[in-house]
Homo-oligomer: A and B are copies of this chain.
Amino acid sequence: MKSGRRGANRVTLADVARHAGVSAITVSRVVNQFEGVTDALRAKVEASIQALGYIPNRSASNLASSRSRVIGVLIPSLSNVVFNEVLSGIYKVAGPAGYQVLLADTHYSPLEEERSLRTILGQNPEGLIITGGDQTDAARQLLASVDLPIVQIMERLDTPLDMNVGFSHFEAAKAVVETLLSRHYRRIGFLGARMDPRSCQRLEGYREVLQQHGLLDERRVVTTPQPSSVGRGGELFRSLMGQCGGDLDAVFCCNDDLALGVLFACQKMHLSVPEQIGVCGFNDIEMAAQVMPGLSSVQVGRYEMGERAMKMIFARLNGELLESPYVDTGFKVVQRGSTRSGSTATLEE
């Protein structure tokens, strides 16, 4: 019985050292894979670790070394395939590097983001991945004060806090609308849900192009701050049809969920896609390629964004020089059956 403290007398480095007949620091060096420990000693120590079932206490390690092996990740939503794939990319790189991910779902709220940020900073993360650029002032101050590698992901930012990996939602939306125009759609509507900053940027891209062509009509724009879903897509489409009196030949949806909802709604309303109504989504989730007709969409490097962000953090932690702290992962408009095919099948960025 070592003490009356709460922690059950867990096996410690010292226990292993005693068992192996070496000093604690030697065990530490074995655990942390340091060079320069005799094979003989190493073997003895490893045997003792096995025998005692030793698991290093990260809190103690962290406290002593200021190295937590934790990366904080803040995303707006857990229940969104888009972020799941970004996360997969992050975990794929973090895991093998021996890093843990501390994940927070901010529910698209800068205030929740700020709260989560505080909590995460309490764990002394060595790096931070956060979504987008609309942090609260307090959060921004916090981030400025901590001196960690920070990557803002999902969108290209004009003034990143530190590093940035993403693409321009504005340009992507413009490309979509230009594609639709090239397919001879003229009365193009916009459907948006949630309307987070990136959705707003898409809306702006949509407006920009139609404005240029003298084809913008705000009666063809329907948005809601409510969460996005397939069902919501159907609802919004019905609103849109009402609002513009059916004077519509295509719909650009803020994301694929909404677009799928529109597709199904069209089937129910016996509107032929892509003839009477062209439909284009955003994100190019797997379903887009599988549904009938195929859903035109915008392919973005979700997995890649997570992967790159994580790699950039590690590069910084290892003192490597980055080519550039800003990475544009681009996008690609993918033409499928839900929009009329034109002369070219795919428009590259």
Chain A positions near chain B (C-beta within 8 angstroms): 5-8, 53, 55-60, 62-63, 65-68, 78-81, 84-85, 87-88, 91, 100-103, 105, 118-124, 141-142, 145-147, 229-231, 234, 260-261, 264, 267-268, 286-287, 289-292
Please classify the interface of chain A as helix (H, G, I), strand (E, B), loop, or mixed, using the class held by over half of its residues: helix
Contact: B100 with A290, CB < 8 Å?
no
**In the bound complex, do residue B78 and residue A81 qualify as a contact, i.e. CB atoms below 8 Å apart?**
no
Interface centre among A119, A145, A261 (most CB of B within 10 A): A119
Across the interface, do B105 and A103 meet the contact criterion of CB distance under 8 Å?
A: no
Pull 24 A–B residue pairs with CB atoms less than 8 Å apart, ordered by A.
A5-B66, A7-B66, A53-B145, A56-B122, A58-B59, A58-B124, A59-B62, A59-B68, A59-B124, A78-B87, A78-B88, A78-B91, A79-B88, A84-B84, A100-B123, A101-B103, A103-B103, A230-B287, A231-B286, A231-B289, A231-B290, A260-B287, A261-B290, A264-B291
Q: Are A67 and B6 in contact (CB under 8 A)?
A: yes
Contacts of A78 in B (CB 8 A): 84, 87-88, 91
A120 contacts across to B, CB distance below 8 A: 100
Number of copies: 2
Closest to A115 in B: B95
Contacting pair A234 B290 (CB below 8 A): yes
Residues in chain B near residue A286, CB distance under 8 A: 229-231
List, in ascending order, chain B residues with CB within 8 A of A287's CB.
230, 260, 287
Asked if B7 and A57 make an inter-chain contact with CB atoms under 8 angstroms apart, the answer reads no
Q: Which residues of B contact A8 (CB under 8 A)?
A: 146-147
Verify B6–A65 contact, CB threshold 8 A: yes
Q: Which residues of B contact A267 (CB under 8 A)?
A: 292
Closest to A68 in B: B59
Name the contact of A123 in the complex, choosing from B59, B88, B291 (C-beta under 8 A). Answer: B59
B residues near A5, Cβ cutoff 8 Å: 66
**Nearest CB of chain B from residue A149's CB, rounded to whole Å:** 13
What is the distance, in angstroms, from A288's C-beta to the closest C-beta of chain B? 10
Residues of B within 8 A of A118 (CB): 55
A63 to B55, CA, bound (A): 14
- Tell me the complex Cα distance, A142–B11, Å: 12
Q: B residues within 8 A CB of A91?
A: 78, 105
Shortest CB–CB separation between residue A46 and chain B, in angstroms? 15
Pair A85/B79 contact, Cβ less than 8 Å = yes
Alpha-carbon gap, A81 to B78, bound state (A): 9
- Distance A81 CA – B85 CA, assembled complex (angstroms): 11
Contacts of A63 in B (CB 8 A): 57, 59-60, 63
Having A6-B66, A58-B122, one finds 8 other A-B pairs with CB under 8 Å, namely A7-B66, A53-B145, A59-B68, A60-B63, A84-B84, A88-B105, A260-B290, A267-B292
Residues of B within 8 A of A145 (CB): 53
Q: Which residues of B contact A56 (CB under 8 A)?
A: 122
Question: Which 5 residue pairs are nearest across A and B when measured between Cβ atoms?
Answer: A7-B66, A59-B62, A230-B290, A58-B122, A59-B59
Q: Let me know if A122 and B55 touch, CB within 8 A.
A: yes
Chain B min CB distance to A249 (Å): 22
In the complex, which residue of chain B has the Cβ closest to the Cβ of A148? B8
Chain B nearest CB from A33 CB (Å) reads: 15
Shortest A279–chain B CB gap in Å is: 14
With CB as the reference atom, state the residue of chain B lying closest to A85.
Answer: B79
A121:B55 contact, CB within 8 angstroms: yes
